[in-house]
Amino acid sequence: MTTATALRYQILNPATGQVEETFETATDADVAAALDATQAAYAEWGARPMAERVAVGQRIAELFYERKDELGRIATREMGKPLSESIGEAEFCGDIFKYYADNAEKFTADQEIESTIGGKAVIQRRPVGPLLGVMPWNYPYYQIARFAAPNLMLGNTILLKHAETVPGSALAMQKLLDDAGLPQGVYQNLFATHDQVADIIADPRIQGVSVTGSERAGSAIASLAGKHLKKSVMELGGSDPFVVLDAADVNEVVETAWATRIENTGQACNSNKRMIVAEGVFDDFVAGLVEKAQGLTPGDPAEEKEGTFAPMSSRAAAEKLHEQVQDAVSKGATLHVGGELLDGPASYYSPAVLTGITPEMRAFKEELFGPVAAVYKVSDDDEALQLANDTPFGLGGSVFSTDTERARRVAERLEVGMTNVNAPSAESFEMPFGGVKRSGFGRELGPLGMDEFVNKRLLYIAD
């Protein structure tokens, strides 16, 4: 094992820039004990009748509903999400756990297949063992829930390494699952270092790893998983196209586009980071976005006063976004409104509207992970489609038109894992989530979310 590094788990309030609480990283002895415990817990949890696991899952859902306000305040404090969104996130986690508890029996039911050699052949779905989850800060409960809920119902056990910036949410999640009746060792939060994560992946008891995060993190962990022959699921970055072919009411489409882009202060993997708009509605569309962004002032995310905007998750994140926008402006892009990095230690970056982006700019290929509406003008459907697919990412995408069939034809050709017509996304607990290209591989949520870390075992009984 390796020794702990200087990695720091701390609550740094992005609205003030002040560190409010710090936590010790796990020792190597902590990691060794957690690995022992997860293996021991799997032997018992995986062997339990499904009905018993489901009962715990139902209780987890109830606790999310009961504690949503408390959980929301914790998340808002440490990563700056507007409070109503934090509360909504916690409530959605309840929906996810309830969905998998309600459907676990159906999703894992034996599947008899035709046999040409006589006898009876059945595909069984069984747990595979202890798993590692490496999760990000932007949705500190939801990201865990969509990984943990199906796997806990399957009978797998989990070690969870959360982002260093949301330790309060990580601990609140651990307490909720413990209070719901999960046996000791079934789910364990670890304030692990990067070196310890590598050691955990290498341990033969760990059977898979799920990562939601940046390309860099995904590449590093996927390479380790491959080296040690571990199954992995990767949900990485995105630069989703939001294609507008025409509009009967431009203001209505603008309202949808802006609400989607500004959700979580623009820090969502599947946000509409590239708005690709037909020239016939482009000017009105941009004017509508500018009107939405004008006059906004920094505000406390716990209060959400009208006319204010929340901070980004960290000063470093805001500074990176500012650099990307300034690079575009320096090379000829037009910044219509916003794009101001406020002075001081807080993480406020004013929502912006940017046009005139060209391939030599960082903003053309890089993910803009913050409140920037990047808008492109196109002349026809083919140009829109070409631009939509001209990205290393392939998470989601959407196409809007008064002609649904026209929009569907374009949406069908998007190189993404989730394609949508006349809606920015189809986000619900039953809708599979995941991408292609550099956005990763594997699926979470829906029935596919319970079909990743599972032993699809063949049982054959001869005549």
pLDDT reported for residue 5: 43
Three-class DSSP labels, the chain? CCCCCCCCEEEEECCCCEEEEEECCCCHHHHHHHHHHHHHHHHHHCCCCHHHHHHHHHHHHHHHHHCHHHHHHHHHHHHCCCHHHHHHHHHHHHHHHHHHHHHHHHHCCCEEECCCCCCEEEEEEEECCEEEEECCCCCCCHHHHHHHHHHHHHCCEEEEECCCCCHHHHHHHHHHHHHCCCCCCCEEECCCCHHHHHHHHHCCCCCEEEEECCHHHHHHHHHHHHHCCCEEEEECCCCCEEEECCCCCHHHHHHHHHHHHHHHHHCCCCCCCEEEEEHHHHHHHHHHHHHHHCCCEECCCCCCCCCEECCCCCHHHHHHHHHHHHHHHHCCCEEEECCCECCCCCCCECCEEEECCCCCCHHHHCCCCCCEEEEEEECCHHHHHHHHHCCCEECEEEEECCCHHHHHHHHCCCCCCEEEECCCCCCCCCCCECCEECCEECCECCHHHHCCCEEEEEEEECC
Q: For every one of its 463 residues, what pLDDT tens digit does the chain have, with 9 covering 90 and above?
A: 334 446 899 999 999 999 999 999 999 999 999 999 999 999 999 999 999 999 999 999 999 999 999 999 999 999 999 999 999 999 999 999 999 999 999 999 999 999 999 999 999 999 999 999 999 999 999 999 999 999 999 999 999 999 999 999 999 999 999 999 999 999 999 999 999 999 999 999 999 999 999 999 999 999 999 999 999 999 999 999 999 999 999 999 999 999 999 999 999 999 999 999 999 999 999 999 999 999 999 999 999 999 999 999 999 999 999 999 999 999 999 999 999 999 999 999 999 999 999 999 999 999 999 999 999 999 999 999 999 999 999 999 999 999 999 999 999 999 999 999 999 999 999 999 999 999 999 999 999 999 999 999 999 999 9
pLDDT reported for residue 284: 98
pLDDT reported for residue 7: 81
Please confirm, yes or no, whether 24 is among the known catalytic residues. Answer: no
Please confirm, yes or no, whether 427 is among the known catalytic residues. Answer: no
Catalytic, out of 78, 269, 444, 452: 269
